[in-house]
């Protein structure tokens, strides 16, 4: 790889990181890596479709739970003609916009579209050709959240009309790239924003030792992992000395579709309720509700990603 191309790739990825960190939280930024197998549908030599391994590294920004933008670098193993007289080396700078259709808070089907800037080099016994070109890139696949931060995906990517000509008379030859890839994505959303409780919440938590009243558990963006605090633990201890009913209500911010947020709020409420049960609170004392994006308590997104607990 030339030094100019390396600097271009590095600056592209670093600029994505810097832009994401300019926000108050890095919760929307992610990095990803994938590998798979590419087949070049050879339009020049119809009797042979060369194939080989392909790798990808990149990063991006989660715009909403459904929409994300990503950029990266993709390198493919050289594609060789059947008689080994020539081979094509290819690498790509990619930029795509992706939409996830969430089947559940952990599983989604996705489609993506964007562009790939291709660096092509064809070598034969007597000649070498170089070509740079911009081509459309499309793909689709399935994603599964392994943890709130780590997701795995299996997908298909398509880049058409790479190269030009029929491979004769000084032309490179044209082919379409079909690739199946498996990858992992890491989201920087482990730490929920630090939120100062309101005066009402502070008073309620102070009273919880004697009379359980209420408390709030906050969450990171697009996460169903509760961020428990010492105040929450004190609330549980106070509940153990009383037989009152506890209402557990899950909420989200308004980013994303209403259906997705409803599911996410249900998962958040379920996880907090599970923690109460594992701490010794009888399941019959719990009423679990999914509110979704309705009833925001603030115009700050981080204050609306929550589960509220109230006693009756």
Residue range 236-260, pLDDT digits in tens: 888 888 778 899 999 999 888 888 8
DSSP secondary structure letter of residue 207? H
Q: Is the pLDDT of residue 84 over 80?
A: no
- Smallest Cα–Cα separation from 72: which of 110, 111, 28, 116? 116
- Please tell me the predicted confidence (pLDDT) of residue 111: 96
Domain with CATH 3.30.1330.60 in the chain: 199-311
Q: Is the pLDDT of residue 117 over 90?
A: yes
Domain with CATH 2.40.160.20 in the chain: 3-187
**β-bridge mates for residue 177, sequence order:** 40, 159
Lowest-pLDDT choice from 13-17, 71-75, 238-242, 305-309 = 13-17
Do β-strands 128-145 and 107-124 pair in parallel, antiparallel, or remain unpaired? Answer: antiparallel
**β-bridge mates for residue 118, sequence order:** 92, 133
Q: Are 226 and 233 in contact (CB under 8 A)?
A: no
Q: How would you list the strands of the sheet with 214-218, edge to edge?
A: 214-218, 306-311, 246-251, 286-292
**Tokens, residue 214:** 């209420």
**Tokens, residue 226:** 């509760």
Lowest-pLDDT choice from 5-9, 12-16, 140-144, 281-285 = 12-16
Confidence band for 103, pLDDT divided at 50, 70 and 90: confident
Most confident of 1-10, 133-142, 173-182, 284-293: 133-142
- Please tell me the predicted confidence (pLDDT) of residue 47: 46
**Angle ∠(89,93,95) on CA atoms, nearest 5:** 145
| pLDDT tens figures, 265-299 | 999 999 999 999 998 888 889 999 999 998 888 88
φ, ψ at 36 (rounded to 5°): -175, -150
Beta-carbon-side half-sphere exposure of residue 13 (alpha carbons within 13 Å): 17
Q: Are 66 and 100 in contact (CB under 8 A)?
A: yes
CA distance 74 to 12: 13
- Please tell me the predicted confidence (pLDDT) of residue 163: 77
Segment 156-162 mean pLDDT: 91
Q: Is the pLDDT of residue 184 over 70?
A: yes
Burial class of residue 15 (count of CB atoms within 10 Å of its CB; 0-12, 13-18, 19+): exposed
Confidence band for 168, pLDDT divided at 50, 70 and 90: low
**β-bridge mates for residue 159, sequence order:** 177
Lowest-pLDDT choice from 31-40, 203-212, 230-239 = 203-212
**β-bridge mates for residue 69, sequence order:** 61, 97
User: What is 3-187's CATH number, 1.10.10.10, 2.40.160.20, 1.10.150.20, 3.40.50.1100?
Assistant: 2.40.160.20
- Please tell me the predicted confidence (pLDDT) of residue 33: 95
- Please tell me the predicted confidence (pLDDT) of residue 13: 42
- Please tell me the predicted confidence (pLDDT) of residue 17: 37
Distance of CA 289 to the CA centre of its chain: 27
What's the whole-model pTM score? 0.61
**Tokens, residue 170:** 């000084």
CA distance 289 to 45: 62
Beta-carbon-side half-sphere exposure of residue 96 (alpha carbons within 13 Å): 25
CATH architecture of structural domain 199-311:
2-Layer Sandwich (3.30)
């Amino acid at each position: 790889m030339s030094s100019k191309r390396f600097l271009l790739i590095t600056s592209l990825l670093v600029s994505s990181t810097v832009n994401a960190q300019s926000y108050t939280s890095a919760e929307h930024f992610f990095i990803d890596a994938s590998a798979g197998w590419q087949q070049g549908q050879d339009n020049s030599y119809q009797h042979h479709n060369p194939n080989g391994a392909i790798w990808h590294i990149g990063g991006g920004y989660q715009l909403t739970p459904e929409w994300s933008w990503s950029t990266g670098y993709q390198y493919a193993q050289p594609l060789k003609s059947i008689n080994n007289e020539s081979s094509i080396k290819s690498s790509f700078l990619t930029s795509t916009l992706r939409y996830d259709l969430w089947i559940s808070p952990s599983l989604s089907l996705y489609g993506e579209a964007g562009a790939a800037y291709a660096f092509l080099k064809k070598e034969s016994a007597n000649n070498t050709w170089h070509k740079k070109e911009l081509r459309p890139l499309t793909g689709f696949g399935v994603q599964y959240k392994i943890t709130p931060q780590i997701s795995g995906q299996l997908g298909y990517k398509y880049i058409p009309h790479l190269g030009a000509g029929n491979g004769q008379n000084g032309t490179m030859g044209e082919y379409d790239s079909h690739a199946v890839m498996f990858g992992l994505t890491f989201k920087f959303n482990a730490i929920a924003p630090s939120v100062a409780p309101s005066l009402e919440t502070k008073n309620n938590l102070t009273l919880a030792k004697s009379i359980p009243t209420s408390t709030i558990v906050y969450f990171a963006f697009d996460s169903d992992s509760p961020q428990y605090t010492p105040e929450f633990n004190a609330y549980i201890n106070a509940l153990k000395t009383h037989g009152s009913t506890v209402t557990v209500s899950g909420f989200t911010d308004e980013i994303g579709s209403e259906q997705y947020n409803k599911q996410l709020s249900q998962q958040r409420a379920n996880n907090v309720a599970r923690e109460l049960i594992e701490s010794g609170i009888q399941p019959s004392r719990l009423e679990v509700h999914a509110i979704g994006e309705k009833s925001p308590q603030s115009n700050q997104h981080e204050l609306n990603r929550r589960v509220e607990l109230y006693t009756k």
